[in-house]
Chains A and B, each alone.
Chain A
Amino acid sequence: MSDTLGTDAAAGRRSRGTPGAGDADSSVPPAPPRAAARRRGRARMRLEIAVLSAPAIITFLAFVILPVALAAYYGFYQWKGYGEPTDWVGLNNYELILTDPAFHDVLWHNGLILALSLVIQGPLAIVLALLLNQRIRGRSAIRVLIFVPYIISEIIVGTGWSLMLQSNGAVNDLLHGMGLGSLEADWIADPDLAIWTLMAIITWKYMGFAVILMLAGLQSIPDEIFEAAQIDGASYWQIQRRITLPLLGPTIRIWAFLSIIGSLQLFDLVYIIWGQYISGTAGTSTMAIYMLAQGRNAGNYGYGSAVAVVMFVISLVVALIYQRFVLRRDLRGAVTEGTV
């Protein structure tokens, strides 16, 4: 409020000054006040930047960056979590992690989950978003309903699905009732099936989010473009392929990024449904589970911190490669466009 008043007053002073002053001296005074105002403006701007960004940055540094930095620090120690870490072991923790077959297993699971999430959810989400973006009845109700799995917490999803997937649970009962009794299985404990069960639950839970994101992306494409294409006689699928998909690119890339990071850091669902021991034998354990089991639950906080660092480095490398890949794709598009 006071800011607006201040500028108003300054503007008033300036406009009042101009008509009164002669042509000769009016060419001299305007310059210095404007420079002063600019300097004052610069200082003001700095103050505004500081005031507006400080709370977020301080909170973020103290509760996100500092703990992560501490994890990197503890990773060099053999530390049981009491008192100051003193037993410096250098890179020993990292060596143990990278040579541990159990870690190779969880890394493989994370990679599999990442790839399958992209391959299953991406195309499915785009097609469903295209379908739901049409003018159909009950569209808003559909949007609410498909988002439901995403808003339900992992603990509820986990509790519900593990009850349903028990060998004497609802899924097997349903299959039996439909005459598909031969398909009944031990969905959670069978090592051949468990990872697919997990993928099914992940797809079920995060599909709605992907679709809603794609729908939002679709809505940001101006209608005029579609109208123009329609007037030019483009068919429905031509419009989707030539206009919608390329314009949806940024949304797809953001979704894929979120999905990749989420896959690498998956924890809650696996932990709640399988727990740290069964997930090992069922073949669904992830890096985060390994970290918890080998770190906190085993009392080796130093080792657990080192696992956290490895996880972070892997996420970072994957993200950087991804950005390279995406950048190169964008470049290639620009080049072909230039030559054609």
Chain B
Amino acid sequence: MSATTATSRASSAPESKAPAGRRDRPQKWGSPVTYFIALLFVGVCIAPVLYIVLGGFRTNAQITTEPAALPHPWVVGNYVGILKSTVFWGEFANSLIVAITSTVGIVALGLMVSFVIARYDFRLKGAMYSLFAAGLMFPMVIAITPLYLVIKDLGLVDNLLGVIIPQIAFGLPTTVIILVPFLRAIPNEIEEAAAIDGMSRLGFFFRMVVPLSLPGVVTVGILGFIGSWNNYLLPLYVLNSQANYTLPLGVQVFSSQYSTDTAKVLAFTSLAMLPALVFFSVFEKRIVGGLTGAVKG
């Protein structure tokens, strides 16, 4: 709707104004300013992160005397100590297991139900969509106490499954909201062509929808993975024993345990955030670049 209004308005307005000779100006406009602002923005974004990472290479004495300085000399002891500890790797493995299974669950369940909402005609379709859309209003914070009781009744306390399954459930609203428009945008012609070629609805789902919606799926997957990796509240309630802790709990315990050893806390913190960063930078192109690809092509 807004698209048509915009194009018609656009085609009428500019004609009267700018002369035709300025055609290629837009791309070159203000390049240095653009770079400057972009660099400034990037700087603001990563400086605190660098502070955490670099702080891990300093000693506590350095941090106390000059809080904002670079490491001098560089100390690797903090990082080495943490990389050698079994506690860190145990928590790391737990986080990884929880994140991967949650992501797979969110993507699989979300894609199936989004496909139904986007491409099937039935009476409860709207209600189904609203159900999940309403889920956006229920953050885990609101439901956490009764949720804990449900998990307890299922015997999943201090069990990684007690974190995984609720995470899948709470990840579904975003997934549906993102994937439904995506699946709807797949042209009907493709589905008709597939049907003419003798492909069933389900065949269409696996052979056409899944590959065509891959960019959307990757987006949802990344959000799910990072959401799980960073989840703090649910593990806090569900996991009791340190053997089952995920990294956010580990960071909290570590920072209160070593509250006087700032450098070590910073090192632990930066190692805990590293996997999410790596995961994101590997898939980043898909997130922005890919969002439109399938629909356009």
Q: Which residues of A contact B (CB under 8 A)?
A: 1, 3-4, 6-8, 11, 44-46, 48-49, 52-53, 55-57, 59-60, 62-68, 70-71, 74, 81, 128, 131-132, 134-136, 140, 142-149, 151-157, 159-161, 163-164, 168-174, 177, 204, 207-208, 212, 215-216, 219-220, 222, 225, 228-236, 238-239, 242-243, 246-247, 249-250, 257-258, 261, 265, 267-268, 272, 288, 291, 295-296, 301, 304-305, 308, 311-312, 315-316, 319, 330, 333-334, 337
State which of A52, A159, A238 has its C-beta within 8 Å of the C-beta of B251. Answer: A159
Please give me the residue from chain A that is nearest to B113 by CB atom. A56
Given contacts A153-B248, A235-B25, contact A265 B66 (CB under 8 A): no
Please give me the residue from chain B that is nearest to A336 by CB atom. B5
Q: Are A155 and B252 in contact (CB under 8 A)?
A: yes
Binary A-proximity of B196-221 (CB < 8 A = 1, otherwise 0): 00111111010000000000000000
Chain B residues with Cβ under 8 A from A48's Cβ? 116, 120, 201-202
Chain B residues with Cβ under 8 A from A172's Cβ? 67
Given contacts A159-B265, A231-B23, contact A57 B113 (CB under 8 A): yes
Q: Are A56 and B284 in contact (CB under 8 A)?
A: no
**A315 to B142 CA separation, bound complex (whole angstroms):** 11
User: Taking each of A7, A8, A234, which has the highest tally of chain B beta carbons within 10 Å of its own beta carbon?
Assistant: A234
Chain A residues with Cβ under 8 A from B269's Cβ? 156, 159-160
List B residues 143-158 near A (Cβ within 8 Å).
143-147, 149-150
State which of A62, A207, A220 has its C-beta within 8 Å of the C-beta of B291. Answer: A220
Chain B residues with Cβ under 8 A from A46's Cβ? 122
B159: Cβ under 8 A from any A Cβ:
no
Given contacts A56-B113, A59-B165, A169-B67, contact A45 B201 (CB under 8 A): yes
**A305 to B146 CA separation, bound complex (whole angstroms):** 8
**A295 to B226 CA separation, bound complex (whole angstroms):** 29
Q: Are A62 and B115 in contact (CB under 8 A)?
A: no
**A172 to B68 CA separation, bound complex (whole angstroms):** 9
Chain B residues with Cβ under 8 A from A231's Cβ? 23
Q: Are A55 and B109 in contact (CB under 8 A)?
A: yes
Q: Are A71 and B17 in contact (CB under 8 A)?
A: no
Count, A-B residue pairs, CB within 8 A: 333
Can you identify 9 A-B contacts, CB atoms within 8 angstroms? A56-B112, A65-B131, A148-B45, A159-B251, A160-B49, A168-B64, A233-B22, A234-B17, A288-B141
Given contacts A71-B142, A234-B10, A238-B17, contact A63 B150 (CB under 8 A): yes
Q: Are B150 and A53 in contact (CB under 8 A)?
A: no
B11: Cβ under 8 A from any A Cβ:
yes
**A281 to B291 CA separation, bound complex (whole angstroms):** 44
Q: Are B5 and A333 in contact (CB under 8 A)?
A: yes
**A171 to B51 CA separation, bound complex (whole angstroms):** 11
User: Taking each of B25, B48, B269, which has the highest tally of chain A beta carbons within 10 Å of its own beta carbon?
Assistant: B48
Known: A160-B269, A243-B10. 8 other contacts (CB 8 A): A7-B200, A59-B169, A63-B169, A128-B41, A159-B265, A164-B51, A216-B292, A232-B11
Q: Are A147 and B10 in contact (CB under 8 A)?
A: no
CB distance from B290 to the nearest CB of A (A): 9
Q: Are B284 and A143 in contact (CB under 8 A)?
A: yes
Chain B residues with Cβ under 8 A from A215's Cβ? 288
Chain B residues with Cβ under 8 A from A225's Cβ? 7, 10
**A46 to B51 CA separation, bound complex (whole angstroms):** 56
Chain A residues with Cβ under 8 A from B257's Cβ? none
User: Taking each of B69, B176, B269, which has the highest tally of chain A beta carbons within 10 Å of its own beta carbon?
Assistant: B269
Binary A-proximity of B106-136 (CB < 8 A = 1, otherwise 0): 0011101101110010100000100110011
State which of B22, B34, B68 has its C-beta within 8 Å of the C-beta of A131. Answer: B34
Please give me the residue from chain A that is nearest to B39 by CB atom. A142
Given contacts A48-B120, A71-B142, A319-B137, contact A144 B280 (CB under 8 A): yes
State which of B18, B115, B142, B203 has its C-beta within 8 Å of the C-beta of A3. Answer: B203
State which of B8, B52, B117, B289 has its C-beta within 8 Å of the C-beta of A337. Answer: B8
CB distance from B45 to the nearest CB of A (A): 5
CB distance from A263 to the nearest CB of B (A): 11
